[in-house]
Structure 1
Amino acid sequence: MNELEKIEQALDHRDLQLAYDLCHSALKKSNNPPLLKLMSRVYAEAGETIAAGNALLKCINDFGFDPNIAIDCSALFQSSMTNQVTSIRLCKNCLNHISKISENNLNKLATLLIQHDLIKQALKALEFGSQNYAFNKESAFNLANCYKFTGDFKRCDQMLRAIIRKDREYYKAYSTMVSLPTNSFDNKDLHQVLESIENCSDYKHKQHLYYTLYLFHERKKDFSKAFHYLKAANEAEKSVIGNIKTDLDASYRNAIRLFQDMPIENSLRTNKTRAPIFVVGLPRTGTTLTARLLSAHPDVQDAGERPFLNICMSPMLNKSGKMSLTEQLVSSPLEEIVNSYLLHISEIIGSSTRFVDQKPTNYNLIGFICLLIPNAKIIEVIRNPMDTCFSNYRQFFNRSVAGLQYTCDFDEIIKHFSHYKELMDFWQQKFPNKIYRLSYESLVKDPLKETERLYQACDLEFKQEYIQIEKLTSAVSTASSTQLREPVHSKYIERWKNYSTYLNPYRAKLPN
């Protein structure tokens, strides 16, 4: 048995220490790709994803670019949420070697590109796969979503129909299809969904089926049936997620506690860039619409919902009470974090001079943003409280991944809304004139007037044609991907009232 076989045997027996020792000893004698890949696997199985990624990166640097190794390396960096710039660069470079990528890795690459909000690049990879490999449901579903994100709803529907023809029990195809503005969902599909619910015991599948029926009946304006199925979809999701509570409330309190006493202003090392425009607010308040309107300006690029700052800075809020703000600002590598963030964004936006980061939950970090990037613009989008809460309850988020598991319970949503309002009132008091508050209702009722004001707040020159967001061709991968292909409209104002019979008891629980 040679060294590679011994290492693989140790891994098969889950003897990670032996596998590591054998790998480490072998690499001292001979540095080669098979050994580096095995060392990466050892680290990965031990939960050391950064070290696993670094082993594959060394393989690429020492022995040349292999797109299949690069995809595995990028996935490791993405899962650990570190070295995002390298992850993006590796994914982009893979597209130059697309013919060498295996079938399974091609869909993996597309998934990574979608996670990085590089939708058009993902589309290129998936279309190559559809033309050169046998039909694959997961790849086809990714392709359908890319068509949806780029506004090609007809091709999205056609791809979903092709999936259903292959497998009528591929349930998420139904919920995606019925969410499209125009679609081919018919009575045969409805019968299939109803029959599947009767025979299905998997709550994850039931969740898709119930949500399909909710959207179907809402479109038919049968709001009684629609709410019945929406509630069933959320109950099914609770069964999948388990604990729906989050620690967001604690982080809000920590932020308020941490920023009670401000540091001496000239003691900070700040970044003077004027590039960022942060659009914040609760989910489903109009943050994507706002970002879309801003990105109509030729100098502004929508960078999507970037999690980088949240990942790097949120842990500091957990130290609140243990260290003062001044101590944290001195001891933490904040300047390096901000510079890394800007480098990360530059990989997405290219040569644009301004960008919009529309990660809604950046509101938690407004204190850090105001202190460390003082020239950044911050836009808070607010919306009718009941519309906000209901829009969160009705939206089929990837909740457990996005940290939005509380949105499948209306009481939890209201509690979260109350804490959010308390935090934003604190930021407004602490940083007066730094946060521009934009009303969703005012924006959609008078988009010309409100968008001009928004541009003034961001020091941007305004032209009337910038409100014509339906003409923009850039991809939208948020929950608003279908709505933003239409002109700005006000038809979703007071949408919750369609369900007032069921929601009025919750209304009384909202803060004034």
Structure 2
Amino acid sequence: MAARIALESLLQRNPVHVPSMLALHAIALEDGRVQAATALALTAVEHLSDDPELIIDVVDALLQVGETVVARDTLEHAALARIGDAAMLARMAKLRRILGDHEGSLALLNRADAAGMNSPEFRFDRAHALIFNGHLQEGEAELEASLRLRPLDGMTTLSLSRVRKQTSERNHLDRLRQQLQQVAAGTDDQAILLFAYYKELEDLGRYDEAWDALERANAAMYARQNHDPDYAWRLFDGLIERCTPEFLQPADVVHEGPQPIFIIGMPRSGTTLMERVISNHSQVTSAGELYDFGMQLRWAADNQSILDERVVERLPGLDYADIGRRYLNRTQWRAQGTRFFVDKMPRNWMLAGMIHRALPQARILNMVRDPMDVCFSNFRTWVMGESFPWNYDLQALAAHYLQYRKVLAHWHAAMPGVVHDVSYSELVRDPEATTRKALAFCGLEWEPGCVDITSNKAVVATLSAAQVREPIHQRFFQEWRHYEKQLQSLYEAVAL
């Protein structure tokens, strides 16, 4: 409070002091005053000097509150075009990546590389930029370069295990054993190394050893989480209670211009595959995984979190037409001249009712995958550490899946016809028929090239970056049966 008062006093004396605005912006975010933080970031733009570091700080602040258009425009500031400092180029590259400009991000990282940047973090970031842009072999080589600089790093090691299927002739098992002997016990690096060890053992068909590594990896990660499944049940039960059919009636508004196609579902349910298929259509552009709708809901609720009990309490008082307008104002540029853009944020399944109320013209596709396939795919995958805490425990994962299923059942009942379920198994077994139905739901005519995902050269910035560059295939069915005995409790909890 004292720091806030001092900074506000300083701004009264010097209303154009951008560093004070940025410091107050950070305090406002920490306090959950999102609207105040947004106003401070936007005001800072109006008073920018030619100091490139300060400009970058302002862009960072804008992105933290979802002001993507202003952030993108500010990144075009003339002072930034003259930057030659490697560290600042790398910072700009991260901001471009957050905006979804992965080609621009890689170009900046290449300039930083030429300027002599050579930290392990830089090599790691450049490796992923290469992989996202389809340069898998170059990305793998860059990961090796990063690991030489930081030999016990878990994330770099796991990325190397993921970039291709390991073989008996070419794998990293010996190095992984050495790393696991040297890494500090109880750390994230140890747990992530165990995920990599599991992945490579499974690639080689050594399932008993693989399960042991996977079980240890998940136990280590879950012990580090602060996860309460009971809170999640209360949250979603409250959401369902609040979102009656009457409440979910859409706003009386027609939004003009390109419209979003939301692809939602459990992580690892095939959302990236669906995105590749739909965005092959000539009237659809892929925008990637966007946080924009959640950001605008958070702004309207003036709350630190996108969805918590406070947001649920505030839902009746929000202006949904305004939320829709704010969302479109910050996203329609991504359509690049097409009628639709794909917003593939799987966790938007939690927000589908509010999406429909705010954006009546939007289409929502929900990917549905066999419960054991999708749950096991999550259990086996380290994803963003604390962002998915339920992934690391079978009973917590089962509870999360059942919460997803309950909420989706409510959306279908409360707003019939608004969400179109797409079966992952049907998509891979009969791509054309399944895609025809999805396109018709979106108001699009069939185009034969849609199911040839190898022709889609767009950036892929998800865990499926390597997989979706292959033709549609049927390999990822019932892989959990290698561990059927160990997964019996999960099966009993989620099997239909």
Please give the range of the TM-score, normalised by the shorter of the 2 chains: 0.7 to 0.9
Are 1:385 and 2:371 an aligned pair? Answer: yes
Q: Kindly indicate whether the alpha-carbon contact (under 8 Å) linking 1:37 and 1:55 is maintained by their aligned counterparts in 2.
A: no
Q: Kindly indicate whether the alpha-carbon contact (under 8 Å) linking 1:154 and 1:183 is maintained by their aligned counterparts in 2.
A: no
TM-score by length of 2: 0.88
1:345 paired residue among 331, 334, 357: 331
Distance 1:435 1:21 in 2: 47
Quote the residue 2:164 is aligned against.
181
Distance 2:193 2:281 in 1: 40
Quote the residue 2:86 is aligned against.
103
Q: CA deviation at 1:157?
A: 0.8
Quote the residue 1:67 is aligned against.
52
Give the length in aligned residue pairs: 485
Distance 2:420 2:171 in 1: 49
1:458 paired residue among 427, 433, 442: 442
Q: CA deviation at 1:254?
A: 2.2
Q: Kindly indicate whether the alpha-carbon contact (under 8 Å) linking 1:36 and 1:56 is maintained by their aligned counterparts in 2.
A: no
SS at the partner of 1:240?
Answer: coil
Quote the residue 2:266 is aligned against.
282
Distance 1:264 1:163 in 2: 49
Higher relative contact order (CA 8 A, sep 6+): 2
Moved more, 487-496 or 251-260: 251-260
1:201 paired residue among 169, 174, 185: 185
Quote the residue 2:135 is aligned against.
152
Q: CA deviation at 1:223?
A: 1.3
Deviations 1:107-164 (A, max 9, x none): 2222222222221111111111011123121111111011111221100111011122
Are 1:311 and 2:295 an aligned pair? Answer: yes
Identical columns (%): 21
Distance 1:185 1:94 in 2: 51
Distance 1:209 1:177 in 2: 11
Q: CA deviation at 1:74?
A: 1.7
Quote the residue 1:218 is aligned against.
202
Quote the residue 2:347 is aligned against.
361
Distance 1:185 1:135 in 2: 32
Q: CA deviation at 1:266?
A: 8.8
Deviations 1:421-466 (A, max 9, x none): 1221222122222222111001101112222222222221222222
TM-score by length of 1: 0.85
Distance 2:11 2:477 in 1: 62
Q: CA deviation at 1:319?
A: 5.9
Amino acid at match of 1:411: Q
Q: CA deviation at 1:358?
A: 1.3
Q: Kindly indicate whether the alpha-carbon contact (under 8 Å) linking 1:56 and 1:70 is maintained by their aligned counterparts in 2.
A: no
Q: Kindly indicate whether the alpha-carbon contact (under 8 Å) linking 1:157 and 1:184 is maintained by their aligned counterparts in 2.
A: no
Q: CA deviation at 1:202?
A: 4.7
Q: CA deviation at 1:216?
A: 0.9
Unaligned runs of 5+ in 2: 302-306
Are 1:436 and 2:420 an aligned pair? Answer: yes
Q: CA deviation at 1:511?
A: 5.2
Q: Kindly indicate whether the alpha-carbon contact (under 8 Å) linking 1:84 and 1:344 is maintained by their aligned counterparts in 2.
A: yes
Q: Against the structure 1 CA distance between its residues 319 and 226, is the aligned structure 2 distance closer, same or farther, given a 3 Å change threshold?
A: same
Amino acid at match of 1:218: E
SS at the partner of 1:357?
Answer: strand
Q: Against the structure 1 CA distance between its residues 18 and 198, is the aligned structure 2 distance closer, same or farther, given a 3 Å change threshold?
A: same
Moved more, 352-361 or 18-27: 18-27
What is the correspondence of 1:18-57 to structure 2 with a 5 Å cutoff? 19-20=6-7, 23-24=10-11, 26-27=13-14, 31=16, 35-38=17-20, 40-41=22-23, 44=26, 47=30
Are 1:140 and 2:127 an aligned pair? Answer: no
Are 1:114 and 2:97 an aligned pair? Answer: yes
SS at the partner of 2:290?
Answer: coil
Are 1:374 and 2:382 an aligned pair? Answer: no
Q: Against the structure 1 CA distance between its residues 444 and 37, is the aligned structure 2 distance closer, same or farther, given a 3 Å change threshold?
A: same
Q: CA deviation at 1:215?
A: 1.1
SS at the partner of 2:494?
Answer: coil
Quote the residue 1:168 is aligned against.
151
SS at the partner of 2:218?
Answer: helix
1:295 paired residue among 268, 275, 279: 279
2:382 paired residue among 372, 392, 396: 396
Deviations 1:151-210 (A, max 9, x none): 211001110111223332233221101101267998895333222322322511102211
SS at the partner of 2:54?
Answer: helix
Amino acid at match of 1:73: V
Q: CA deviation at 1:392?
A: 1.1
Q: Against the structure 1 CA distance between its residues 63 and 424, is the aligned structure 2 distance closer, same or farther, given a 3 Å change threshold?
A: closer
Distance 1:410 1:61 in 2: 50
Q: Kindly indicate whether the alpha-carbon contact (under 8 Å) linking 2:268 and 2:377 is maintained by their aligned counterparts in 1.
A: yes
What is the correspondence of 1:413-428 to structure 2 with a 5 Å cutoff? 413-428=397-412
Q: CA deviation at 1:244?
A: 6.0
Rg larger in 1 or in 2?
1
Amino acid at match of 1:36: V
Distance 1:312 1:76 in 2: 15
Distance 2:250 2:21 in 1: 47
Q: Against the structure 1 CA distance between its residues 256 and 188, is the aligned structure 2 distance closer, same or farther, given a 3 Å change threshold?
A: closer
Across the aligned residues of Structure 1 and Structure 2, the Cα RMSD in angstroms comes to: 3.1
SS at the partner of 2:422?
Answer: strand
Q: CA deviation at 1:489?
A: 0.4
Q: Kindly indicate whether the alpha-carbon contact (under 8 Å) linking 2:24 and 2:40 is maintained by their aligned counterparts in 1.
A: no
Distance 2:44 2:250 in 1: 45
Q: CA deviation at 1:72?
A: 0.8
Q: CA deviation at 1:242?
A: 3.7
Q: Kindly indicate whether the alpha-carbon contact (under 8 Å) linking 2:271 and 2:346 is maintained by their aligned counterparts in 1.
A: yes
Distance 1:387 1:320 in 2: 32
